Amino acid sequence: MNNAHDDGSPHAFDETDGPADMNGTEGIDGMDGFDDDADDELDDGPDDSGAFEGDDSLDNDLLEETLRQAAAIMDPVPAQLRQTAVEAYALYALDTRLAELTFDSLVHGLPIRGAVDAPRMLTFRTDELTVDIEVTAHGLMGQLLPPQGARIEVLRGPQLTSPPALTADNLGRFAAELPVTGPFALRLRTNAETVMTEWLRA
């Protein structure tokens, strides 16, 4: 009995045939499904990787501006803190003079035996003005030399309200039941000038 091999008819499958024979791709370039020539053309094309190198600074500026706007909305600077910063900068203004600390009883004074809660004595000076201050747990009092009237503001660091103001009489005397804690300074407005003392900690 003859089979398909005996009569020479085409056979459906030959064990010697490989997958390449079945697909008809044996000996054909690009049998992996890609065109090698197309790959070469892409490799030889212009390199656009550096086309956007200059955009980094633009992106950084945009990010910085976005963060600034977000901070202004979510965490704004308190108005009084901004005002304090402006006032501190005013020390450099031509119409404001700085009164330097020349005496502090905590540093220069001699301890008094048996004294409890002794007042702190402070002296500030400019070329034309001397400010003597006595600070206690209950408030402060002082005098301007030479004697003259003045409006005196007690600055006590960042605060949500306007600083308390005192008035020195014609003899230069002033006093207030105003406990002073933390950093503080005095700003004096006389008829001739504006003077600000150095900041101290009570």
pLDDT band at 166 (very low <50, low <70, confident <90, very high): very high
User: How far apart, in whole angstroms, are the C-alpha atoms of residue 174 and residue 176?
Assistant: 7
Query: Looking at per-residue confidence, does 38 or 125 come out higher?
Result: 125
Question: 100, exposed or middle or buried, with CB in 10 Å at 0-12, 13-18, 19+?
Answer: exposed
Contact 98, 198 (CB under 8 A): yes
Question: What is the per-residue pLDDT across 2-13, written as a single tens digit (0 to 9) for each?
Answer: 444 455 544 444
User: How far apart, in whole angstroms, are the C-alpha atoms of residue 92 and residue 98?
Assistant: 9
Amino acid at 101: L
pLDDT band at 71 (very low <50, low <70, confident <90, very high): confident
**CB neighbour list of residue 12: distance below 8 Å, 6 or more residues apart:** none
Q: Is the pLDDT of residue 32 over 60?
A: no
pLDDT band at 48 (very low <50, low <70, confident <90, very high): low
Specify the pLDDT at position 110. 66
At which residue do the structure tokens 């390199």 appear? 47
Specify the pLDDT at position 173. 97
Specify the pLDDT at position 84. 65
User: How far apart, in whole angstroms, are the C-alpha atoms of residue 38 and residue 42?
Assistant: 6
Query: Looking at per-residue confidence, does 172 or 4 come out higher?
Result: 172
The predicted model gives 62-90 an average pLDDT of 71
Specify the pLDDT at position 19. 47
97-101, 140-144, 155-159, 173-177 — which is least confidently predicted? 155-159
The predicted model gives 64-73 an average pLDDT of 78
DSSP state, residue 197: E
DSSP string computed for the chain: ---TTTTTPPPS--TT--HHHHHT-TT-TTTTSS-HHHHHHHHHS---TTTTTTHHHHHHHHHHHHHHHHHHHHSPPPHHHHHHHHHHHGGGSTTEEEEEEEEETTTTSPPPTT-SSPPEEEEEE-SS-EEEEEE-SS-EEEEEES---EEEEEE-SS-SSPPPEEEE-TT-EEEE-----SEEEEEEE-SS-EEEEPPEE-
Question: What is the per-residue pLDDT across 90-139, written as a single tens digit (0 to 9) for each?
Answer: 555 556 789 999 999 988 766 666 556 788 999 999 999 999 999 998 89
Specify the pLDDT at position 20. 46
